[in-house]
Amino acid sequence: MESQALYKTIYKIAKVVNASLEPKEVLGQIVEQVAKAMSAKGCFIRLLDRTGTILKPDAYFGLSDRYAQKGPVEVSKSKIDQEVLQGNPIYIEDVRTDSRFQYPQQASEEGIISLVVVPLIGRGNKVIGVLRVYSAENRRFTEDELEFVSCIANLCGIALENARMYHALKRTRELADAYVYQVFED
């Protein structure tokens, strides 16, 4: 993949992150842009639940609903995600033969062969989820592509943190307004 195309995609995604504070909208556009820019089969973002034990589907593009809803990704059963959640990107040339992959049968049925997984980093360098890029062919990702995916994962972390802070601020303001209204009514 050409570096200039990757930079243009980073620019487009940065614009999306700046334009909206709605995580579903932002992450939905990110997975689509990443899959298209990398000519990949699909892209998937999963976020850790509150317990930190399950990666829940949040946004995906290029994959079937059947595959996206195949079952929970339990961190304790997914060695790939255990490694990624410690901050290490993972590349797998053939998921059908890699014992670390939790759903190899479903991946085979979906036509997935190669995979890159990178951590989504939130505030304070806390890993909050993963971004996966799937290929339908045996593919070696270039260093530029791996850096691109990591850069996008960092933008996802920023987008999620901005949305979290916005919604917390909005909720605080609603509570303050309700308090003022109540005080003046009494």
Structure tokens at 156: 């996802």
- What CA–CA distance (Å, rounded) separates 161 from 148? 20
Examine the pLDDT at 72 and tell me if it is beyond 90: no
CATH number, domain containing residue 20: 3.30.450.40
Q: Could you list the residue range(s) of the whole structural domain that residue 54 is in?
A: 3-184
The predicted pLDDT at position 186 comes to: 65
Number of structural domains (the chain) is 1
Whether 75 and 82 have beta carbons less than 8 Å apart is answered as: yes
- What CA–CA distance (Å, rounded) separates 14 from 170? 23
Examine the pLDDT at 184 and tell me if it is beyond 80: no
Convert the pLDDT of each residue in 95-124 to its tens digit.
Answer: 888 888 888 889 999 999 999 999 999 888
Convert the pLDDT of each residue in 2-18 to its tens digit.
Answer: 778 888 999 999 898 88
Examine the pLDDT at 149 and tell me if it is beyond 80: yes
- What CA–CA distance (Å, rounded) separates 159 from 4? 23
The predicted pLDDT at position 111 comes to: 95
pTM of the model: 0.86
The predicted pLDDT at position 151 comes to: 93
What three-state secondary structure class fits 60? strand
For residue 52, what are the CA distances in angstroms to 35, 58, 120, 130, 167?
A: 27, 15, 13, 12, 21
